Chains A and B, each alone.
Chain A
């Protein structure tokens, strides 16, 4: 993936988030403070503006870092610093590569996951975006180890994230506002895991299209 492909990912993710903003907000209203879709829509809109404002010869790392910075600044709620950190760590991981191949994208996703876990201190099973991100990265790495190309790896990650998001439904939250609800937080999909699944679906979509 070159810089234009990654910018395409940010744009497509923004489109998917915007289309699903109401559903994300509804999920968040059940167990959070009811603003996740709205917040993330605002953050990704800013990310698209930031990416569009970059010079045409900006490398892949700059695309990811600029998008991350915009998301931190404009997204309210915990998802802003978390997604912003994820994108910026991914950007740092690709360093000065002009083109991100399957192995480099895997390393970037791993770095993103590490950044999210470092910042949010969430573990698997806490009912957070980490529950989508961990299986996504694991599925990507497994596909990569099996010799799959970038598109197949990204699809595996998107499927892993979707399954991980589904698996948050029965969990009891141990992080964020939902944790105050105790057992009442079960029976709802975690909004952060759900948006993570969307963002990784966007990645798989653009690699197919590109």
Chain B
């Protein structure tokens, strides 16, 4: 079993994170590991660092984890997780980066690439290529 980059989807909505994860897993032909981290600690709308920490721990198998976030505090929570990683115990260390990409399109692109066994940088680049994907062709 080859190792694979994990993907964590951070959203204000638990349903949105889970739905996007469902879609991305399908595009990752069932091989990509995509974990949702949606909603506040009580499951309401909001974001939760604790949920992100748990999702990353689940998604990580040693090849690193790509984070994708929806808006506002999702982005800040992701960045806080990464900053905290510097202070974390080496045994819990995980290489995590935040993609500058839209949540759904980025998750689909990342999962597709992760399923090929690509490294973290390549998976991140795939997610970020989705940022400029026009839906109605060039202007």
Chain A interface (Cβ < 8 Å from any Cβ of B): 35, 39, 72-74, 76-82, 84-85, 119-120, 176-177
Q: Which residues of chain B are near A81, meaning CB under 8 Å?
A: 49, 73, 76-77, 79-80
Q: Which residues of chain A are near B48, meaning CB under 8 Å?
A: 73
Give B71's nearest chain A residue, CB to CB: A177
Interface residues of B in 66-94 (CB under 8 A from A): 72-73, 76-77, 79-80, 83
- Given contacts A73-B41, A76-B46, A77-B46, is CB(A119)–CB(B73) below 8 Å? no
Q: Which residues of chain B are near A79, meaning CB under 8 Å?
A: 73
Give A92's nearest chain B residue, CB to CB: B87
* Alpha-carbon distance between A82 and B49 when the two chains are bound, in angstroms: 13
Give B77's nearest chain A residue, CB to CB: A81
9 contacts between A and B (CB under 8 A): A76-B45, A76-B46, A77-B73, A78-B76, A81-B49, A81-B77, A85-B80, A85-B83, A120-B76
- Could you tell me the dominant secondary structure of chain A's interface residues? helix
Q: Which residues of chain A are near B80, meaning CB under 8 Å?
A: 72, 81, 84-85, 119
Q: Which residues of chain B are near A82, meaning CB under 8 Å?
A: 76
Contact between chains at B49 and A73 (CB < 8 Å): yes
Chain B interface (Cβ < 8 Å from any Cβ of A): 40-41, 44-50, 72-73, 76-77, 79-80, 83
Contact between chains at B79 and A80 (CB < 8 Å): no
Give B76's nearest chain A residue, CB to CB: A81
Give B53's nearest chain A residue, CB to CB: A73
Q: Which residues of chain A are near B73, meaning CB under 8 Å?
A: 76-81
Contact between chains at B41 and A74 (CB < 8 Å): yes
8 closest A-B pairs (Cβ-Cβ)? A76-B46, A81-B76, A78-B73, A81-B80, A76-B40, A77-B73, A78-B72, A78-B76
Q: Which of B44, B50, B80: most chain A Cβ within 10 A?
A: B80
* Alpha-carbon distance between A39 and B45 when the two chains are bound, in angstroms: 12
**How many whole Å from B104's CB to the nearest CB in chain A?**
19
Q: Which residues of chain B are near A119, meaning CB under 8 Å?
A: 76, 79-80, 83
Give B73's nearest chain A residue, CB to CB: A78
* Alpha-carbon distance between A81 and B50 when the two chains are bound, in angstroms: 12
Contact between chains at B40 and A177 (CB < 8 Å): no
**How many whole Å from B69's CB to the nearest CB in chain A?**
11
